[in-house]
Amino acid sequence: MTASEDKNLVRRPIITANWKLHKTVAEATQFVDELRARCADLGDLDIVLAAPFTALAAMRDRLQAMPFHLAAQDVFWEAHGAYTGEVSAPMLLDVGCTYVIIGHSERRQYFGETDDTVAKKVSAALQANLHPIVCVGESLRQRQAEETFEVIKRQVQQGLAPCDAEDLANVVLAYEPIWAIGTGMTATPAQAQEVHQYIRTLLDEGWGGDVARTVRVQYGGSVNPDNIAVLMAEDDIDGALVGGASLDVESFVHILSYQRRNT
Ligand code: PGA
Protein backbone atom coordinates (compact mmCIF):
# COMPACT_ATOMS: atom_id res chain seq x y z
CA MET A 1 0.00 0.00 0.00
CA THR A 2 1.73 3.14 -1.16
CA ALA A 3 -0.91 5.01 -3.14
CA SER A 4 -2.21 7.95 -1.16
CA GLU A 5 -5.80 7.21 -2.19
CA ASP A 6 -5.63 3.97 -0.23
CA LYS A 7 -4.06 5.23 2.96
CA ASN A 8 -7.23 6.55 4.63
CA LEU A 9 -8.87 3.15 4.23
CA VAL A 10 -6.09 1.55 6.23
CA ARG A 11 -5.39 4.38 8.67
CA ARG A 12 -8.26 6.63 9.73
CA PRO A 13 -7.03 10.24 9.90
CA ILE A 14 -6.58 11.58 13.43
CA ILE A 15 -6.25 15.22 14.44
CA THR A 16 -5.37 16.09 18.02
CA ALA A 17 -5.63 19.47 19.70
CA ASN A 18 -2.84 19.84 22.25
CA TRP A 19 -3.89 22.75 24.42
CA LYS A 20 -0.78 22.58 26.62
CA LEU A 21 -1.04 24.94 29.61
CA HIS A 22 -4.11 26.78 28.34
CA LYS A 23 -7.82 26.96 29.12
CA THR A 24 -9.79 27.11 32.34
CA VAL A 25 -12.80 24.82 32.83
CA ALA A 26 -15.10 27.55 31.53
CA GLU A 27 -12.94 28.14 28.45
CA ALA A 28 -12.62 24.44 27.72
CA THR A 29 -16.35 23.72 27.95
CA GLN A 30 -17.15 26.78 25.87
CA PHE A 31 -14.76 25.49 23.21
CA VAL A 32 -16.53 22.11 23.20
CA ASP A 33 -19.93 23.76 22.85
CA GLU A 34 -18.75 25.93 19.97
CA LEU A 35 -17.00 23.03 18.29
CA ARG A 36 -20.17 20.95 18.46
CA ALA A 37 -22.11 23.74 16.79
CA ARG A 38 -19.51 24.07 14.03
CA CYS A 39 -18.39 20.60 13.19
CA ALA A 40 -21.19 18.83 11.34
CA ASP A 41 -19.99 16.88 8.35
CA LEU A 42 -16.26 17.04 8.87
CA GLY A 43 -15.62 13.76 7.16
CA ASP A 44 -14.20 10.54 8.40
CA LEU A 45 -11.62 11.34 11.03
CA ASP A 46 -10.84 10.97 14.73
CA ILE A 47 -10.85 14.26 16.62
CA VAL A 48 -8.97 14.26 19.92
CA LEU A 49 -8.94 17.08 22.47
CA ALA A 50 -5.93 16.99 24.83
CA ALA A 51 -6.87 19.31 27.67
CA PRO A 52 -5.29 20.21 31.01
CA PHE A 53 -6.13 17.70 33.78
CA THR A 54 -8.35 20.26 35.51
CA ALA A 55 -10.76 20.54 32.57
CA LEU A 56 -11.14 16.84 31.76
CA ALA A 57 -14.11 15.98 33.99
CA ALA A 58 -16.20 18.92 32.83
CA MET A 59 -15.34 18.18 29.22
CA ARG A 60 -16.28 14.51 29.62
CA ASP A 61 -19.76 15.59 30.70
CA ARG A 62 -20.07 17.87 27.65
CA LEU A 63 -18.58 15.39 25.18
CA GLN A 64 -21.06 12.58 25.81
CA ALA A 65 -22.67 11.48 22.58
CA MET A 66 -20.29 13.68 20.61
CA PRO A 67 -17.78 12.35 18.09
CA PHE A 68 -14.72 13.65 19.97
CA HIS A 69 -12.15 11.80 22.04
CA LEU A 70 -10.76 13.18 25.26
CA ALA A 71 -7.03 13.05 26.01
CA ALA A 72 -4.62 14.04 28.75
CA GLN A 73 -1.22 15.52 27.99
CA ASP A 74 0.76 13.27 30.31
CA VAL A 75 0.33 10.32 32.67
CA PHE A 76 2.33 8.72 35.47
CA TRP A 77 3.43 5.08 35.17
CA GLU A 78 2.23 3.80 38.53
CA ALA A 79 -1.49 3.21 39.07
CA HIS A 80 -1.52 4.55 42.65
CA GLY A 81 0.74 5.15 45.63
CA ALA A 82 2.82 7.81 47.33
CA TYR A 83 3.57 9.95 44.25
CA THR A 84 2.49 13.45 45.20
CA GLY A 85 1.23 15.46 42.27
CA GLU A 86 0.93 12.62 39.78
CA VAL A 87 -2.10 11.35 37.83
CA SER A 88 -2.39 7.71 36.80
CA ALA A 89 -3.73 5.98 33.69
CA PRO A 90 -6.74 4.44 35.51
CA MET A 91 -7.57 7.94 36.81
CA LEU A 92 -7.51 9.27 33.25
CA LEU A 93 -9.79 6.49 32.12
CA ASP A 94 -12.09 7.25 35.04
CA VAL A 95 -12.36 10.88 33.96
CA GLY A 96 -13.28 9.96 30.39
CA CYS A 97 -9.98 9.93 28.52
CA THR A 98 -9.42 7.48 25.71
CA TYR A 99 -6.05 8.88 24.57
CA VAL A 100 -3.00 10.30 26.32
CA ILE A 101 -0.03 12.19 24.89
CA ILE A 102 3.27 10.71 26.08
CA GLY A 103 6.82 12.01 25.68
CA HIS A 104 6.03 15.42 24.24
CA SER A 105 9.30 17.30 23.66
CA GLU A 106 8.27 19.90 26.25
CA ARG A 107 8.01 17.11 28.84
CA ARG A 108 11.41 15.82 27.74
CA GLN A 109 12.92 19.30 27.84
CA TYR A 110 11.43 20.76 31.03
CA PHE A 111 10.43 17.74 33.11
CA GLY A 112 13.21 15.24 32.61
CA GLU A 113 11.24 12.77 30.52
CA THR A 114 13.48 10.15 28.92
CA ASP A 115 12.91 7.28 26.52
CA ASP A 116 12.82 5.05 29.58
CA THR A 117 10.05 7.02 31.30
CA VAL A 118 8.20 7.19 27.99
CA ALA A 119 8.31 3.38 27.78
CA LYS A 120 6.96 3.03 31.32
CA LYS A 121 4.15 5.47 30.61
CA VAL A 122 3.27 3.72 27.35
CA SER A 123 2.98 0.43 29.26
CA ALA A 124 0.81 2.00 31.94
CA ALA A 125 -1.48 3.62 29.39
CA LEU A 126 -1.94 0.41 27.41
CA GLN A 127 -2.63 -1.55 30.56
CA ALA A 128 -5.45 0.89 31.36
CA ASN A 129 -6.85 0.63 27.81
CA LEU A 130 -5.81 4.15 26.88
CA HIS A 131 -4.35 4.91 23.47
CA PRO A 132 -0.90 6.47 23.87
CA ILE A 133 0.06 9.22 21.42
CA VAL A 134 3.84 8.83 21.57
CA CYS A 135 5.83 11.89 20.49
CA VAL A 136 9.25 11.77 18.86
CA GLY A 137 11.30 14.46 17.18
CA GLU A 138 14.75 15.94 16.75
CA SER A 139 16.11 19.33 17.80
CA LEU A 140 17.45 21.88 15.32
CA ARG A 141 20.99 21.05 16.39
CA GLN A 142 20.39 17.36 15.79
CA ARG A 143 18.86 18.03 12.36
CA GLN A 144 21.78 20.24 11.39
CA ALA A 145 24.21 17.57 12.57
CA GLU A 146 22.31 15.05 10.40
CA GLU A 147 21.34 13.03 13.46
CA THR A 148 17.59 13.08 12.77
CA PHE A 149 17.20 9.41 11.86
CA GLU A 150 19.43 8.29 14.73
CA VAL A 151 17.37 10.29 17.25
CA ILE A 152 14.06 9.07 15.85
CA LYS A 153 15.29 5.48 15.83
CA ARG A 154 16.32 5.65 19.49
CA GLN A 155 13.06 7.33 20.55
CA VAL A 156 10.84 4.89 18.63
CA GLN A 157 12.72 1.74 19.59
CA GLN A 158 13.19 2.62 23.27
CA GLY A 159 9.86 4.38 23.80
CA LEU A 160 7.94 1.47 22.30
CA ALA A 161 10.20 -1.24 23.74
CA PRO A 162 7.48 -2.72 25.97
CA CYS A 163 5.01 -3.10 23.08
CA ASP A 164 4.26 -6.19 21.04
CA ALA A 165 2.51 -6.03 17.68
CA GLU A 166 -0.90 -6.30 19.30
CA ASP A 167 -0.15 -3.32 21.57
CA LEU A 168 0.92 -1.26 18.59
CA ALA A 169 -2.61 -1.48 17.20
CA ASN A 170 -3.59 0.87 20.04
CA VAL A 171 -0.68 3.28 19.70
CA VAL A 172 -0.49 6.49 17.70
CA LEU A 173 2.87 8.10 16.97
CA ALA A 174 3.49 11.79 16.51
CA TYR A 175 6.54 13.12 14.69
CA GLU A 176 7.20 16.60 16.02
CA PRO A 177 10.48 18.22 15.01
CA ILE A 178 11.31 20.41 18.01
CA TRP A 179 12.46 23.27 15.78
CA ALA A 180 8.97 23.42 14.24
CA ILE A 181 6.98 23.54 17.49
CA GLY A 182 5.49 26.93 18.23
CA THR A 183 7.96 28.63 15.90
CA GLY A 184 5.88 29.06 12.76
CA MET A 185 8.62 27.03 10.99
CA THR A 186 6.66 24.00 9.76
CA ALA A 187 8.63 21.13 8.29
CA THR A 188 8.01 21.03 4.56
CA PRO A 189 5.68 18.22 3.54
CA ALA A 190 8.69 16.46 2.00
CA GLN A 191 10.78 16.80 5.20
CA ALA A 192 7.92 15.44 7.29
CA GLN A 193 7.14 12.64 4.83
CA GLU A 194 10.77 11.53 4.83
CA VAL A 195 10.73 11.00 8.60
CA HIS A 196 7.24 9.48 8.64
CA GLN A 197 8.37 6.96 6.04
CA TYR A 198 11.45 6.22 8.13
CA ILE A 199 9.25 5.65 11.20
CA ARG A 200 7.27 3.14 9.17
CA THR A 201 10.52 1.38 8.25
CA LEU A 202 11.39 1.18 11.97
CA LEU A 203 7.94 -0.23 12.74
CA ASP A 204 8.41 -2.79 9.98
CA GLU A 205 11.81 -3.85 11.33
CA GLY A 206 10.60 -4.03 14.92
CA TRP A 207 7.05 -5.30 14.68
CA GLY A 208 6.40 -6.39 11.10
CA GLY A 209 4.68 -5.22 7.95
CA ASP A 210 1.13 -5.17 9.28
CA VAL A 211 2.08 -2.84 12.11
CA ALA A 212 4.03 -0.60 9.73
CA ARG A 213 1.03 -0.42 7.41
CA THR A 214 -1.60 0.27 10.04
CA VAL A 215 -0.10 2.42 12.82
CA ARG A 216 -1.09 6.04 12.48
CA VAL A 217 1.62 8.70 12.56
CA GLN A 218 0.64 12.31 13.16
CA TYR A 219 2.79 15.30 12.24
CA GLY A 220 3.12 18.16 14.72
CA GLY A 221 4.88 21.52 14.59
CA SER A 222 3.22 24.76 13.53
CA VAL A 223 0.32 23.02 11.78
CA ASN A 224 -2.28 25.61 10.76
CA PRO A 225 -5.33 25.96 8.49
CA ASP A 226 -3.08 26.87 5.53
CA ASN A 227 -0.63 23.98 5.66
CA ILE A 228 -2.78 21.08 6.93
CA ALA A 229 -3.98 19.91 3.50
CA VAL A 230 -0.53 19.66 1.92
CA LEU A 231 0.81 17.79 4.94
CA MET A 232 -2.14 15.39 4.97
CA ALA A 233 -1.65 14.72 1.26
CA GLU A 234 1.65 12.94 1.99
CA ASP A 235 1.49 9.14 1.87
CA ASP A 236 2.70 8.48 5.39
CA ILE A 237 1.16 11.42 7.28
CA ASP A 238 -2.07 10.30 8.93
CA GLY A 239 -2.95 13.25 11.06
CA ALA A 240 -1.76 16.25 12.99
CA LEU A 241 -0.93 17.18 16.56
CA VAL A 242 -1.85 20.82 16.73
CA GLY A 243 -0.79 23.23 19.47
CA GLY A 244 -1.26 26.96 18.98
CA ALA A 245 -3.72 26.71 16.10
CA SER A 246 -6.02 24.44 18.15
CA LEU A 247 -6.75 27.02 20.83
CA ASP A 248 -9.19 28.97 18.72
CA VAL A 249 -12.34 27.12 17.56
CA GLU A 250 -12.43 28.87 14.21
CA SER A 251 -8.86 27.93 13.38
CA PHE A 252 -9.25 24.36 14.67
CA VAL A 253 -12.44 23.83 12.64
CA HIS A 254 -10.57 25.03 9.56
CA ILE A 255 -7.90 22.44 10.22
CA LEU A 256 -10.48 19.69 10.80
CA SER A 257 -12.28 20.51 7.57
CA TYR A 258 -9.18 20.14 5.39
CA GLN A 259 -10.80 17.24 3.48
CA ARG A 260 -13.91 19.20 2.60
CA ARG A 261 -11.94 22.26 1.58
CA ASN A 262 -9.73 20.07 -0.53
CA THR A 263 -12.50 18.58 -2.64
P1 PGA B 1 2.40 23.99 17.70
O2 PGA B 1 2.61 22.83 18.79
O3 PGA B 1 1.30 23.53 16.78
O4 PGA B 1 2.02 25.21 18.49
O5 PGA B 1 3.69 24.14 16.98
C6 PGA B 1 2.52 21.47 18.44
C7 PGA B 1 2.81 20.62 19.64
O8 PGA B 1 3.71 20.96 20.41
O9 PGA B 1 2.15 19.59 19.86
Nearest CA to ligand 1 atom 2: 243
CA of 82 to the centre of ligand 1 (A): 32
Nearest CA to ligand 1 atom 1: 243
Tell me the pLDDT tens digit for each residue of 156-204.
999 999 999 999 999 999 999 999 998 888 889 999 999 999 999 999 9
Q: How many angstroms separate the alpha carbon of residue 116 from the centre of ligand 1?
A: 23
Ligand 1 mean position, distance from CA 35 (Å): 20
Q: What pLDDT was estimated at residue 5?
A: 53
82 pLDDT higher than 70: yes
Q: Is 103's C-beta closer than 6 angstroms to any atom of ligand 1?
A: no
Ligand 1 mutation pick, 134, 176, 231, max ligand atoms within 8 A of CB: 176
Confidence of residue 261 (pLDDT cuts 50, 70, 90): low
The CA-CA-CA angle for residues 127, 29, 46, to 5°, reads 50
Q: What is the DSSP string of 29-77?
A: HHHHHHHHHH-TT--S-EEEEE--HHHHHHHHHHHTTSSEEEEES--BS
User: For ligand 1, what atom is nearest to the CA of residue 223?
Assistant: 3
Task: Using a pLDDT cut of 90, give the percent of the chain over it.
Answer: 86
Mean pLDDT over the full length of the chain: 94
Whether residue 240 is predicted with pLDDT greater than 70 in this model: the reply is: yes
Query: How far is residue 195 CA from its own chain's centroid?
Result: 16
Catalytic residue ranges:
104, 176
pLDDT, tens digit, for every residue of 130-165?
Answer: 999 999 999 999 999 999 999 999 999 999 999 999
Res. 263: pLDDT tops 70: no
Q: Which residues pair with 48 in a beta bridge?
A: 16, 69
Residue 64 has pLDDT above 90, yes or no: no
Q: Per DSSP, which regions of the chain are E strands?
A: 14-18, 46-50, 68-72, 99-102, 131-136, 172-175, 216-220, 239-242
pLDDT tens readout for residues 48-57? 999 999 999 9
* Three-class SS state of 147: coil
pLDDT band (50, 70, 90) for residue 98? very high
Q: Is the pLDDT of residue 94 over 60?
A: yes
Contact in structure between 172 and 47 (CB atoms under 8 Å): no
Question: Mean per-residue pLDDT for 7-12?
Answer: 91
